[in-house]
Structure 1
Amino acid sequence: MIEFVSQSKKSNLILFVHGFCGGEATWRNGGGRSFPELFSDDPEISEKYDIAHFLYFTKLLNLFAKAGKVSTFVKRMFRTSHGKLASNISIEEIGSLLRTEIRFRLQTYDNVIVVAHSMGGLVTKSAITKDIEEKIPPKIKLFISLAVPHQGAESATFGKLISDNLQIEGLSPLNDFIHRINDEWLKTSLRPTTKYFYGVHDSVVKKTSSVPIDKEKSDAISVDEDHTSITKPESQSSTTFIAIKQIILDFENNDPGISALEIKQLEDETEFDDELFVLKLISADIHNTTVREAKEAFLNAEYIRKFFSNTSDQKRLAELYKKIRKVYQNSYTKYIHDGIPNSGLLLADVHETIIKEDKVFLNTFILFINAIHKQGMLHQLANSEDENIWWVKDGSADSLRSLITEVKSE
């Protein structure tokens, strides 16, 4: 399934994924040079990237199948040397095969950049959304979409009349598969950076389908090509080649990817000193070391929150905050009834419970939020004047006003 064009143990890979009835020839121009080979000849790309194809079986085998005219002879033509009968499988299943290849054959790569054409883009989207659904950090960090029918291809509707090919069915506008992966794609803010190319002469996949509704204006790139020529730049001076190369180099220099979600360190010890959650800790005589840890957790919670801006993630975050508030309330109840002897141990008890319940009561479908972020979310709650979260038994609105007045007077 993976065929390398160049392989020299780089940490990054550019992976080409062809479309319906395609293969290695999808990328080969009239002069016999392929798009991947042009990349391997480019010193700026080849210095940092290995290059490969993802190949899968896709043929128009089932033509006239609905009329009962599929030939046994045609089937035998595509029987493998091992006697295994190759057949068309669904786009979703091909996406699962891509995930398998990435997991087991491409596991040494830190980052994978996918250049996908037509149906290959739907294969790629299916693989990415399945990773996110199963809480697996996607290895695909940049997705370059070339004439991909994100809303389906009208020509596939006519193809269904003469064929029961599963791939044609998956390409039809508004079919269940298209609708489902688009819905999943829009639900998460953790999908990879995506650039949408469309050919102005493409009569197979129209602009309205190749540039989906979730795009930003800067993501849509028009080129003077049709559905076939968009994959076959004649040389390194071709606009499509130059544009995709520049996108890869720009992404490499300004990667906002998942790696940016690493745990952040507090650089300034005085940071957040005037924040309400810190004043509450100080008023409870919490040790300086513990206050610093709370600041750092708060920093990470504030940082990661900006990645989750869509409606679905916001609802999940709201539910998670409710659960964290409940964890605090349970510990605070023990504290006011002398089950916990002091404020420092109250805070420790809440933090320890968050760690203990991270994958149980506090489990969330939002990727990459861990126990440290959840501890920080506790202090985000404490930082709100509307939240009654204290580390002393006599915490009240009067105490809050007193703290705020004290800060303003300094």
Structure 2
Amino acid sequence: MRRLILFLHGLGGSSAASWGKFKELLEADDDLVGLEVAFLEQPSSPWRAWTSPVAAEIGTLAGALATDLEESFLQFDQILLVTHSMGGLVARKWLTRLLMKKITTNVAGIVFFAVPHEGSSLARVLVRLSVDHKQLQQLTPKSPFLTELNEAWVNLDCAGAMPIWNVAAARDGCVAPSSAAPLWIGGRSRTLAEKDHRSVIKPADAEDKAFKIVKNAALELAGADTPGVRRPRSVVGHGEDGAAEAVAGNPLFYYYRPEEAAHYLVRPVDGTLAQLLPLRHLWVHGPIGCGKTVAASRAMYNAFRAHLTVSLGASTGKGATGAIASLEQQVRAAVAPGPEVRAGEDDIDRIVSLLESCSVAGIGAILIEETPLPDEREAAGFFAAVRAISVRQAQRSPGVPVRLVFTSPVDPGPAFDGNDLASESVTVIPMHYWPAEELDDLLRRISRSLRLSLDNSVIERVLRSDPRSPRLVKMFIQNFVQLGGSVSDLDEALMVTLAGLAQ
């Protein structure tokens, strides 16, 4: 497998010179033998005069990045994209477009060094010294570009699409640490106390923390099973000894704590899912951000405790065969070594055999996220595969087999409406955005569970700003807790965040 670390500089930078000793340190590291290094160049300057060339907008640079990746780097199986300053915004804009169009990529992770996710106060000064500098205009705090980009990032759950690392420099006079590593951005955040905006990407030696962050990110991705896709995850309840022992020590698994569900409202659909799951496979469809994955995860936990989650996002555009192959690969990785492949078996038989292995391991259900259905032809092929799996599983596995739960924005329509065995095995459940009154209740539940005091006027302003989905609030709570924040800190930070949302 060919792996690449691809560097993308920021405003006023240059391809290789901006990155100091990164290339020589990476190529000299014995742990990274075979890994290749490349640098991208993008036109940018910290100021512009009347006679200077027009500064391309960040969205235009994102299009150029997409072209570079598609035309010059397709030969690589896995790419770690390392960005600095404005280059990180270019990468984020590229990723949001990718997810909206449901396009697969060989980029498996992104490192953001000193990226002004919430803008740069220095840009406010520089933009006054330049003539119609589009990039500086977009880099100013609360610019229309940043507002739109940040909303898309959260609504599309970009942080869940692939691993990301945020690195802030404590002495950065260009990009404040709070802008380089805001809580809502997701991923893992690091702050380097001794670094400024330039030195944060110029490691002195192999012991430099900036170098170690990139090295460790590359090593982590090298151990991933599928480039550009989240690893399979399992949710295992505490106290379920048999299931816990079955997956103990498997790095593909993580543990879900039921107390985390205190931040979510229980809706009628939760009861429906929990009742049907032991009896049927489920296809849960609805708009992005309406809570499909959360509801399905809770239902699986309540019904079976142990369950596995896989993502098919990277198989978009590869047809039903590619999606089924991705499903097989990820489930096999989770129950490794899994059943032996027997002569004459087709892909459906192999999937059913893997489901039987999951049952033996104590896994009761599999959540299949990001089901790729970009067009009617691919959707029809995937629906046919699901029907075939359900029929053969029913024929081969009497009793209560491992249940499959698909979450997708796509309504399967008549695909499972018949009177045959496949249709009887799959139930289609629609979901919708949360009503404003439920989001209001959610915010108050968060307030009570964390012993916070939320002003009613703040909650009302938040509801007016986004009456559909609690995802932003949910991500804020989760990220804050992951960073080790205290309740007293959260009280102040939550108030500031909610007030900011309402502006």
Both proteins in one fold, TM over 0.5:
yes
For each residue in 1:295-336, what CA deviation from the matched residue of structure 2 results, as whole angstroms up to 9, or x when unmatched?
Answer: 9xx96844x65xxxxxxxxxxx4x64xx4476544x34xxxx
Task: Using the TM superposition, give the Cα deviation of residue 109 of structure 1 relative to its aligned residue in structure 2, in angstroms.
Answer: 1.1
- The aligned runs of 1:219-298 (5 Å cut-off) are 219-254=189-224, 257-258=228-229, 260=231, 261=311, 262-264=326-328, 265=351, 266-267=353-354, 269=356, 289=392, 291=394
Equivalent of 1:120 in 87, 92, 105: 87
- The aligned runs of 1:207-218 (5 Å cut-off) are 207-215=177-185, 218=188
Task: Using the TM superposition, give the Cα deviation of residue 140 of structure 1 relative to its aligned residue in structure 2, in angstroms.
Answer: 1.6
2:416–2:428 CA contact under 8 A, matched in 1: no
1:19–1:118 CA contact under 8 A, matched in 2: yes
1:58–1:88 CA contact under 8 A, matched in 2: yes
- The aligned runs of 1:64-103 (5 Å cut-off) are 70-71=50-51, 75=52, 87-103=54-70
Alignment partner, residue 145 of structure 1: 112
Alpha-carbon separation, structure 2, partners of 1:300 and 1:14: 39
Alignment partner, residue 395 of structure 1: none
Alignment partner, residue 36 of structure 2: 50
Aligned identity (percent) is 21
CA, structure 1 residues 133+294, in 2 after alignment: closer, same or farther (shift >3 Å)? farther
Report the secondary structure of 1:219's partner residue. Answer: strand
Alpha-carbon separation, structure 1, partners of 2:121 and 2:26: 32
2:203–2:210 CA contact under 8 A, matched in 1: yes
Alpha-carbon separation, structure 1, partners of 2:356 and 2:108: 34
Which residue identity lines up with residue 91 of structure 1 in the other structure? I
Alpha-carbon separation, structure 2, partners of 1:204 and 1:272: 54
Alpha-carbon separation, structure 1, partners of 2:391 and 2:139: 60
Task: Using the TM superposition, give the Cα deviation of residue 182 of structure 1 relative to its aligned residue in structure 2, in angstroms.
Answer: 1.4
1:202–1:225 CA contact under 8 A, matched in 2: yes
Structure 2: give runs of 5+ residues left out of the alignment. Answer: 232-310, 312-325, 329-350, 366-388, 430-503
TM-score of the superposition, structure 1-length normalised?
Answer: 0.60
1:197–1:223 CA contact under 8 A, matched in 2: no
- The aligned runs of 1:315-354 (5 Å cut-off) are 317=408, 320=410, 323-324=411-412, 327-329=415-417, 331-332=418-419, 346-347=420-421, 350=423
Task: Using the TM superposition, give the Cα deviation of residue 22 of structure 1 relative to its aligned residue in structure 2, in angstroms.
Answer: 0.5
Report the secondary structure of 1:214's partner residue. Answer: helix
Alpha-carbon separation, structure 1, partners of 2:390 and 2:98: 42
Alpha-carbon separation, structure 1, partners of 2:208 and 2:191: 14
For each residue in 1:120-148, what CA deviation from the matched residue of structure 2 results, as whole angstroms up to 9, or x when unmatched?
Answer: 00011111111111110132211111000
Structure 1: give runs of 5+ residues left out of the alignment. Answer: 1-9, 64-69, 76-85, 277-285, 306-316, 333-345, 352-375, 382-410
Alignment partner, residue 175 of structure 1: 143
2:112–2:164 CA contact under 8 A, matched in 1: yes
Tell me whether 1:20 sits opposite 2:11 in the alignment.
yes
For each residue in 1:345-390, what CA deviation from the matched residue of structure 2 results, as whole angstroms up to 9, or x when unmatched?
Answer: x235x59xxxxxxxxxxxxxxxxxxxxxxxx8x2586xxxxxxxxx
TM-score of the superposition, structure 2-length normalised?
Answer: 0.50
Alpha-carbon separation, structure 1, partners of 2:357 and 2:40: 51
1:223–1:239 CA contact under 8 A, matched in 2: no
Which residue identity lines up with residue 186 of structure 1 in the other structure? V
1:26–1:231 CA contact under 8 A, matched in 2: no
Alpha-carbon separation, structure 2, partners of 1:151 and 1:110: 32
Tell me whether 1:41 sits opposite 2:115 in the alignment.
no
2:47–2:127 CA contact under 8 A, matched in 1: no
Report the secondary structure of 2:110's partner residue. Answer: strand
Task: Using the TM superposition, give the Cα deviation of residue 97 of structure 1 relative to its aligned residue in structure 2, in angstroms.
Answer: 0.3
1:269–1:292 CA contact under 8 A, matched in 2: no
2:8–2:84 CA contact under 8 A, matched in 1: yes
Task: Using the TM superposition, give the Cα deviation of residue 60 of structure 1 relative to its aligned residue in structure 2, in angstroms.
Answer: 3.9
1:196–1:220 CA contact under 8 A, matched in 2: yes
Tell me whether 1:130 sits opposite 2:233 in the alignment.
no
Alpha-carbon separation, structure 1, partners of 2:414 and 2:38: 50
Alpha-carbon separation, structure 1, partners of 2:212 and 2:15: 21
For each residue in 1:192-243, what CA deviation from the matched residue of structure 2 results, as whole angstroms up to 9, or x when unmatched?
Answer: 2111101111111001100022255843343420001001111222221123
Alpha-carbon separation, structure 2, partners of 1:12 and 1:159: 38
Report the secondary structure of 2:147's partner residue. Answer: helix
Which residue identity lines up with residue 18 of structure 2 in the other structure? W
CA RMSD of aligned residues (A): 3.4
**Higher-Rg member (1/2):** 1
Report the secondary structure of 1:220's partner residue. Answer: strand
1:129–1:184 CA contact under 8 A, matched in 2: yes
Tell me whether 1:186 sits opposite 2:154 in the alignment.
yes
